[in-house]
Amino acid sequence: MPNLWIQETSISIRDNGDRCGLGESPVYETFTGDRGTLYRSLSKSYGRCTGKIYVDRKDAPPLAVGWVFEARRPFEDDPSDSSIIETWVTVHSGPPTVTTEYHYQQS
């Protein structure tokens, strides 16, 4: 079974309700091809699962493509303060397909 690929997006949620995007990873290959093993590993790293990520489809029900995890983490620069870190993880069967289209200028 080929390994699964994932992309992670992280958001900091302050106690006052402010939200701040922390960044997004590229799509990368994981260590396993088993969704259950991957889920357990991600929950150890990112905290409890609070929901799933869905994509809409035209003539079919929405498709679950990942999970949302959250955990309270201390700030790097001030460990006495903390925020909720929400991590959205989408699961992929392989790397993205990239297409290059050239637009030449006539000389």
**Radius of gyration for the chain, computed over Cα atoms and rounded to the nearest angstrom:** 18
- The whole-angstrom separation of Cα 107 and Cα 99 is 25
| Closest listed residue to residue 88, CA positions, set 46, 35, 38 | 46
Q: What percent of the chain has pLDDT over 90?
A: 86
Rounded Cα distance, 32 and 91, in Å: 12
pLDDT tens string 5-46: 999 999 999 988 899 999 999 999 999 999 999 999 999 999
CA 82, CA 72: separation in Å to the nearest integer?
Answer: 7
pLDDT tier at 107, thresholds 50, 70, 90: confident
Backbone angles phi, psi at 6, to 5 degrees: -140, 160
Query: Does the pTM of the predicted model rise above 0.85?
Result: yes
Q: Are 67 and 87 in contact (CB under 8 A)?
A: no
Q: Which amino acid is at 72?
A: R
